[in-house]
Every structure is written in C-alpha cells, then in structure tokens.
Amino acid sequence: MAKFLNLNDLASQEVREIQIGAEVHRVMEMSVDAFIRTTQVAESLGDEASIAKQMDAAVDMILLAVPTLKKEQIRALSVDQLQALTKFIRGEDPIEPGEGDDSVQAGAEGK
C-alpha cells in the first residue's frame, strides 16, 4: 500500500495582511529559503551590531515576509509601526486587548 503526503494540506490556512496607507499587502508564510536568509542576516549582525544595523536588518527581514512592500515604505514608518509590523509578521498580536480592533492598520492615515 502506498503512502501519500499532501504538503498542500500542511500549508497555513490563515491569511495575514497589513495595510500601509491605501495599500494592502499579504504576509507570506515563511519558506525554508526565507528562514535561511533571515537566520543569515541575524547571524551576520553579531552581538555588537549598532542600532542602525539592527533596524536595517529588520527592514530586510520584513521584505522577505512581505515582498510586495518597498524598502522606502518600511523606512517611512515610525519606530512603533515597525515594531508592530515585526510582531505581526512573527504571528504575535501587536495590539493589546482593548487597544483597538482585531486588525493592524499601520499608517492608516497615510504615514
């Protein structure tokens, strides 16, 4: 008897999207390639990386997760928005209960 593994059944059914200004972008499920690249970026920083290098690395990691974003869009975010975005990409809820609705709308006012 043959065994069958349908990898399509293992794919995440949850769709995660972010909004920046009027644009909505889908957060991609992390592929093996994106995991390797993200890990390489993190390892290259070392323990003594400057805050600027860490922020630049965060932008690069966000681009892996949300490839439809442009680097300029991410760099235009506030630090709070950047932190909320990275949390959301990791699967965390960046909004504490009672602080807003169930969606994250980074830059809804066009920031």
Domain chopping of the chain, boundaries: 28-111
For 3-54, what is each residue's pLDDT tens digit?
998 888 887 778 899 999 999 999 998 889 989 988 888 888 877 778 888 8
Structure tokens at 67: 């490839």
- CA angle, corner 32, sides to 18 and 68, nearest 5? 30
Which alpha helices (DSSP H) does 46-89 contain, by range? Answer: 51-65, 71-75, 79-89
- CB-facing half-sphere around the CA of 52: CA atoms within 13 A: 0
Its pTM stands at 0.71
Quote the CA–CA distance of 92 and 83 in Å, as a whole number. Answer: 11
Predicted confidence band of residue 109 (pLDDT cuts 50, 70, 90): very low
Structure tokens at 82: 């950047």
| Among 61, 69, 65, 74, CA closest to 28 | 65
